[in-house]
Amino acid sequence: MELSVAGKRALVTGASSGLGLHFAELLARSGASVTLAARRKERIARAAESLCSQNLEAESATLDVTSPDSVAALFSRSKPFDIVINNAGITGEGSAMDMKIEQFEDVIATNLAGVFSVAQAAARSMKAHGGSIVNIASILGLRVSGHVSAYAASKAGVIQLTKALALEWARYGIRVNALCPGYIETPINSAFFASDAGTRLVHRIPQRRLGTLEDLNGPLLLLASDASAYMTGSVIAVDGGHLVSGL
Ligand code: NAD
């Protein structure tokens, strides 16, 4: 079975930048009709227009995953999706000793409750015909690092949530899997990875390099497409071996 998503309808949350924008472009170039959703209306509208100008199928939709009304509005306006990429996320870095509870709650609201809210709306619309939900977790949901307590807790939650939803929704033909990227270089973090601390971090990755957005293409298309028809509740790390680095 090839990694084809041609003719499928796909939703990508947090598609205005970084991984989400890349996933939206990848799915559109692979023949899917893609809805790019995020809070920044102008940015996603421009991104969707740019894809349409290349004869690809794309549209934009405003979405705040922390707002149940916003999630409900998007799904009530849209035809059912075959593929939903739950990518929206925030980092909320900070020392656990000093972090305000509001900051912790914001991270959980976006990264965990937001994923649940979108997955639930997606599953209700997929119930009749099935579909694939891909939750973008992180290797920080499986191991920890300094100053990322809220983020690591939220991503660990996403991994366990993925398994729980996979169990409940398999009977409807809805597959739910998680992708756990390691450190992927994007415009937002490239300055850090060029610093001494960033270089030391890269040295601890067994492959001795950061991931690129393209490194995620195969795993994302695998989980999104019918090539993974017998996979649900799976957790795939794409991290250059970072999770198996020596202690
Ligand atoms: P990014 O900041 O470039 O993208 C995050 C996207 O989520 C943006 O489009 C942002 O607008 C959107 N977003 C944030 N809050 C939202 C909300 N309430 N509603 C709707 N959209 C919202 O960051 P990124 O690095 O591209 O991260 C994308 C995902 O990948 C995140 O879930 C992140 O945790 C995960 N991830 C990234 C890396 C990495 O190295 N970049 C590694 C592992 C996991």
Percent above pLDDT 70 for the chain: 100
Percent above pLDDT 90 for the chain: 95
CATH number at residue 23: 3.40.50.720
pLDDT tens per residue, range 31-58: 999 999 999 999 999 999 999 999 999 9
4 belongs to a structural domain:
no
As for how many domains the chain has, the answer is 1
Query: What average pLDDT does this structure show over 6-19?
Result: 98
18 belongs to a structural domain:
yes
Which residues constitute the domain of residue 77? Answer: 9-238
pLDDT value at 1 more than 70: no
Q: Say what the pTM is.
A: 0.98
- Whether 50 and 28 have beta carbons less than 8 Å apart is answered as no
**pLDDT given for residue 228 in this prediction:** 98
Tell me how far apart the alpha carbons of residues 151 and 243 are, in angstroms, rounded to a whole number. Answer: 17
**pLDDT given for residue 145 in this prediction:** 94
- What are the pocket residues of ligand 1 if the criterion is a CB atom closer than 6 Å to any ligand atom? 13-14, 16-20, 38-40, 63-66, 87-90, 110, 114, 136, 138, 181, 183-184, 186, 188
Which of the four pLDDT bands, split at 50, 70 and 90, describes residue 187?
confident
pLDDT tens per residue, range 61-116: 999 999 999 999 999 999 999 999 999 999 999 999 999 999 999 999 999 999 99
Residue of minimum CA distance from atom 8 in ligand 1: 14
**pLDDT given for residue 160 in this prediction:** 99
Average of per-residue pLDDT values in the chain: 97
**pLDDT given for residue 241 in this prediction:** 98
183 belongs to a structural domain:
yes
- Residue 184 is classified by DSSP as B
pLDDT tens per residue, range 134-148: 999 999 999 999 999
1 belongs to a structural domain:
no
Helix ranges (DSSP H) in the chain? 18-29, 41-52, 68-77, 101-108, 114-126, 149-169, 190-194, 196-203, 217-224
Query: What distance in angstroms lies between residue 18's CA and the mean position of ligand 1's atoms?
Result: 7
130 belongs to a structural domain:
yes
The ligand 1 atom nearest the CA atom of 188: 3
Element (H, E) at 10: strand 9-13
Tell me how far apart the alpha carbons of residues 138 and 121 are, in angstroms, rounded to a whole number. Answer: 23
53 belongs to a structural domain:
yes
Element (H, E) at 34: strand 33-38
243 belongs to a structural domain:
no
Query: What distance in angstroms lies between residue 93's CA and the mean position of ligand 1's atoms?
Result: 13
Query: What distance in angstroms lies between residue 111's CA and the mean position of ligand 1's atoms?
Result: 9
Residue of minimum CA distance from atom 12 in ligand 1: 14
Catalytic residues: 151
pLDDT value at 14 more than 80: yes
245 belongs to a structural domain:
no
